[in-house]
Every structure is written in C-alpha cells, then in structure tokens.
C-alpha cells in the first residue's frame, strides 16, 4: 500500500518560539543546514509519498519566498488559507481538492517520527480497517503533552495534560496520522482535528504505538534547543540512528563542523553557530543568523538583533 498524498501543517503563528518566532516562521527555523520545512518534505518523500501539500496562513509571504528557488519544493503544492481554519479545516480544504478520495498522511512541520519498515507496514495494515490512524508515543506527563485514552487499539478520548497526574507515563498523539479521505463527512470553514477528522464518536480511529522508533520535537524554544544539542551529542558518541543518518544523507548536517558539543564554533562550549561569522570562545548559544552575539554565557537563541534567553 502506498500513501500518495501528504499534508505538512505549516499555517500556525509560531507563538511558542518567542520573539524570534514573530519574525522567523517556525517552519523555516534551521536544523543545522536545512529548514524544518525542507526536512519534512524530504521525509515525506522518503516514505514514498508522491503528492506533497503544505498549508500556509500566517507567514505565507516568507514561506513562498523560501520555496521559490529551492529545488526541494519543485513538485510541492502550497495551499493558501485566507483565514485560520485549524487542522480539521486544513484537511477538508485539501480533501475537497482531491474530491474526498484517496489516503492522506498528515505531518506536523516541527516534529519527526522515524519508524522502521516493520512498524510502517504494521501501521498500513492497521489503517486498512480504520477510518483514521494516529501514531502515538509514550512520554512523561511532566513534558506537558496531552494524553490519548486508548482501548483495544482505538481512540476513546483525549485527556488534557492539566487533568493528568504528574510524573506519569502517558500515550500522546505525535501529530502524525493517516486519514482515509472518503470516510470524512464534507465540511467547510474552521474545525479542529478531533472534531471533523479523527472524531472517535463517529469514526473508527485507530492508534498505533511507535516504541523503538525515534520521535524528534522542535516545536518550542526548549524542545528546539534540546533536540539540536541531542543531535550533536549522538554524533559525538557515534550513535548514528535513523534521524541522524537522514540528516547526513540529505546534507542537512556537515560532519566537518561538529566538534563535540559545538557546531561551527572553535574553543567554545554548547554553541551551534549557523551564521556566516567565525565564532570562538562563546558559551551556551544557538546563533541562527549573523547579528548580535551576547558576551554573557546565559543560554540563549539569537536571530539578527533578537536575543531570547531560555
């Protein structure tokens, strides 16, 4: 079974990325040498998807400029949304263009799930008997994710994190799912994902766990920081897992720039330098572009003249 269509969700305002997120759309934040959006397209292609769509609203101008002359986006379609319509609305917006026919893979633009071929095939098999299939992952409730209530492999409900006991292992929705478009009841306008797409009250919504797979999240300032430095740590320890191999294969990571806990920085500590300037004797920084470089050692992310401390 081949899933021919993929929708990469990129219409958000990026409010969780602080002051930098107001001028640099989260989907265009770099993971070393490539943007998150580029990597999502390359990831979808690696799964055999033929038709890739990206929805856009808040930062359409910046996204269109980014994809204009980038060969990665050559056969990608940008879906412009004139107003916020939420994830459910975005899925239906695309479904109408596809005449509510076929299967759809949904990907968040700030998360990656690297599963082996066995789990992917299990997911496709389970999807055959469901209207929708959610990929879930076990996390600690202290990481502030919502939880999925699952019974017999089916979704029974969604539990808000505020209602969950602290320091408890939960299953959370990763943002990646498979949807059978003909199973949807046509809808227009704004709607949430669990309202008009994965509505467990009137649809058969399966859930598959992705244990022994890799889940990488860049969706907040803190998670972006942790994920980027975790990549460097794994390379230093020569733990070339699937995501690291993917980055190297797609030239999203230059191994020659890696120096223990630094990237493109000399005599420094915990520094990722993605600017064009040489950096030495710097501490605890991710430099997304040329611009100011604070002399202090406080953990911070820098873009142009904006400094966000973590």
Q: What is the pLDDT of residues 25-80, one digit of tens each?
A: 999 999 999 999 999 999 999 999 999 999 999 999 999 999 998 999 999 999 99
- Tokens, residue 156: 């029974």
- Assess contact for 175 and 139: CB atoms under 8 A: no
Measure the CA–CA gap between 153 and 151, rounded to whole angstroms.
5
User: Where in the chain are the domains?
Assistant: 5-217, 221-309
What is the per-residue pLDDT for 2?
82
**Is the CB of residue 91 less than 8 Å from the CB of residue 108?**
no
| Number of C-beta neighbours around residue 151 at 10 A | 9
pLDDT at 293: 66
Mean pLDDT, residues 229-253 taken together? 91
In eight-state DSSP terms, residue 128 is: T
CATH architecture of 5-217: Alpha-Beta Complex (3.90)
pLDDT of residue 210: 87
What distances in angstroms separate CA 162 from CA 51, 146, 193, 198, one per listed residue? 38, 8, 20, 22
Is there a contact between 301 and 273 (Cβ–Cβ < 8 Å)? Answer: no
Q: At what angle do helices 242-249 and 36-46 cross, to 10 degrees?
A: 100
């Amino acid at each position: 079974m081949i899933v021919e269509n993929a929708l990469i969700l990129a219409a958000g305002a990026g409010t969780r990325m602080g002051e930098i997120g107001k001028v640099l759309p989260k989907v265009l934040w770099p993971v070393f040498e490539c943007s998150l959006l580029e990597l999502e397209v390359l990831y979808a292609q690696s799964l055999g998807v033929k038709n890739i769509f990206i929805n856009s609203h808040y930062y359409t101008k910046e996204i269109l400029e980014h994809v204009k002359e980038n060969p990665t986006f050559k056969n990608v379609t940008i879906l412009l949304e004139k107003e916020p319509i939420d994830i459910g609305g975005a899925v239906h917006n695309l479904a109408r263009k596809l005449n509510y026919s076929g299967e759809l893979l949904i990907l968040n633009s700030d998360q990656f799930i690297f599963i082996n071929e066995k789990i992917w095939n299990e997911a496709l098999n389970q999807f055959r008997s469901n209207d929708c299939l959610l990929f879930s992952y076990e996390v600690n409730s202290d990481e502030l994710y919502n939880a999925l209530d699952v019974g017999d492999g089916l979704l029974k409900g969604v539990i808000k994190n505020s209602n969950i006991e602290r320091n408890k292992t939960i299953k959370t929705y990763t943002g990646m799912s498979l949807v059978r478009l003909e199973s949807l009841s046509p809808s227009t306008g704004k709607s949430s994902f669990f309202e008009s797409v994965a509505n467990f009250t009137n649809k058969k919504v399966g859930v598959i766990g992705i244990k022994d797979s890799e889940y990488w999240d860049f969706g907040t300032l803190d998670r972006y920081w942790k994920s980027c430095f975790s990549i460097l740590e794994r390379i230093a320890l020569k733990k070339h897992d699937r995501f690291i191999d993917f980055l190297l294969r797609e030239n999203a990571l230059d191994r020659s720039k890696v120096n223990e806990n630094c990237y493109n920085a000399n005599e420094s500590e915990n520094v990722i330098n993605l600017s064009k300037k040489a950096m030495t004797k710097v501490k605890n920084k991710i430099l997304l572009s040329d611009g100011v470089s604070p002399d202090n050692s406080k953990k911070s992310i820098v873009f142009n003249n904006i400094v966000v401390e973590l």
